[in-house]
Structure 1
């Protein structure tokens, strides 16, 4: 798995780590059932603290993209690619709405109006 962070990205480092892993899954570098390298190895590759990597991994676990299993490590879930792609589209929508002056709550209201 080839991961790297964008130095011009202004998001928090753990969000960048999660985004890099999401991107790897979306691009097919990791498929459902694949085990991720240990957090220590990822931290060395990315040049960030291991706690930063763990925080990014936990965020992806909470999203349902990754699964933590004692003795088996961290694996990509079966719904990860679809969910990851959908989350990317939602993030793009939120960014587009913000550019037009709409808040997240405005978007939620618009979605509720859709039959």
Structure 2
């Protein structure tokens, strides 16, 4: 799995790491049950702080895409829905980015999503 970060990007490095994993899961390049690189190793290879990698991994855990266990590391969640969930999160990130560019408030975005669900 290839991780890339762009220090010149306005997107935080931890978010860039999470986006790399999210995209790999969505595209089926990472299978359920597969282990991600240890945070310390990934931080060293990318030249970033360990906590930056951990923030990215924690974001993915909060999204339900990976499981973090002491001694076992970061593992992609099992089940057939992981790829679909990752693809959906990519679209959510795009929606949020576009809403920010348009200057929409959080409440306006949530309202739009609620309208779409109705």
What is the TM-score of this pair, normalised by structure 1? 0.83
Residue number in structure 2 paired with 1:2: 2
Could you tell me which runs of 5 or more consecutive residues in structure 1 were left unpaired when the two chains were aligned. none
**Residue 106 of structure 1: CA displacement?**
1.0
Q: What SS is found at the alignment partner of 2:68?
A: strand
Mapped to 2, the partners of 1:25 and 1:113 lie a distance apart of: 29
Q: Which moved more, 1:89-98 or 1:50-59?
A: 89-98
Mapped to 2, the partners of 1:59 and 1:93 lie a distance apart of: 17
Residue number in structure 1 paired with 2:62: 62
**Residue 98 of structure 1: CA displacement?**
3.4
Q: Which moved more, 1:71-80 or 1:55-64?
A: 71-80
**Residue 24 of structure 1: CA displacement?**
2.3
| Per-residue deviation, residues 74-112 of structure 1 (Å, max 9, x unmatched) | 100134322221111112122333334432311211232
4+ residue runs over 6 A deviation: none
1:1-115 alignment runs, 5 A limit: 1-78=1-78, 79-114=81-116, 115=118
1:47–1:24 distance in 2 versus 1, CA, 3 Å: farther
Mapped to 1, the partners of 2:63 and 2:113 lie a distance apart of: 21
Mapped to 2, the partners of 1:74 and 1:5 lie a distance apart of: 19
Mapped to 1, the partners of 2:77 and 2:8 lie a distance apart of: 30
> 1 or 2 for the larger relative contact order (CA 8 Å, sep ≥6)?
2
